[in-house]
Amino acid sequence: MTLAIIGGTGLTQIPDLLITGEQSLDTPFGAPSAAYVFGELDGRKLVFLARHGNPHRIPPHKINYRANIWGLQALGVTEIIAVAAVGGIGREMAPAVIAIPDQLIDYSYGREHTYFADDLEQVTHIDFSEPYSPALRARIVAAAEQAGIATVNHGIYGCTQGPRLETPAEIKRMANDGCDLVGMTGMPEAALARELGIAYANVSVVANWAAGVVAGEITMAEIEKNLHQGMNQAIMLLTAVAQA
């Protein structure tokens, strides 16, 4: 099995990744966010893609998700671990926490969200009852436990449009819907992977409390501090998964 890691905000590269090559691809859906990086993490070969480009320049609603995922399949990828910076809504989802969500709600709009849109011989539907691969999630959870890395092993990820942060009223609505986390890149990425038969799991790093959960303005300084701590743990987790 070939593993890919998609890095989000705070993870445009993996420091311990021994890079062996890079490849840019043209896809039927346009250009991916960046060149695909080939490397070895603790002896495990993998492919890395910076979701927002490298340098970090593509906002969530402008990412070419279809090109990104199609390119990974073309390179023979069968599993994707998607790392994302998120806001915390649920009580367990404090800043710097690492969460492995098991469900999601999509609030995004206007994004190219399927491969099954044009020139079809028949209408195609995918089962999305479990949006994240149970087997891949289980491996991530087991690797975290083995390495002594604390994670919250459940949660509902709510995907908003971005690039602005949400209002307290929007977060209250999401909380009422059951969301524990809020991010901007979880969809259509997860569904596109499912359409192509690629196992997909999300590793969410909580960068801040979502708007209105605690008093005060959300600042970039706060986000950067929490991401630095959380992403260091996430990289340790990715290394543990590679060792498993």
Annotation: binding site for substrate = 184, 208-210
Contacts of 136 (CB under 8 A, 6+ apart): 79, 81, 199, 200, 201
Nearest to 97 by CA among 227, 240, 200, 235: 227
Distance, in Å, from the CA atom of 181 to the CA atom of 91, rounded to the nearest integer, reads 10
CA dihedral 233, 188, 65, 240 (to 10 degrees): 20
* Residue numbers belonging to the annotated binding site: 9, 51-52, 184-185, 208-210
Which residues are documented as binding site for phosphate? 9, 51-52, 185
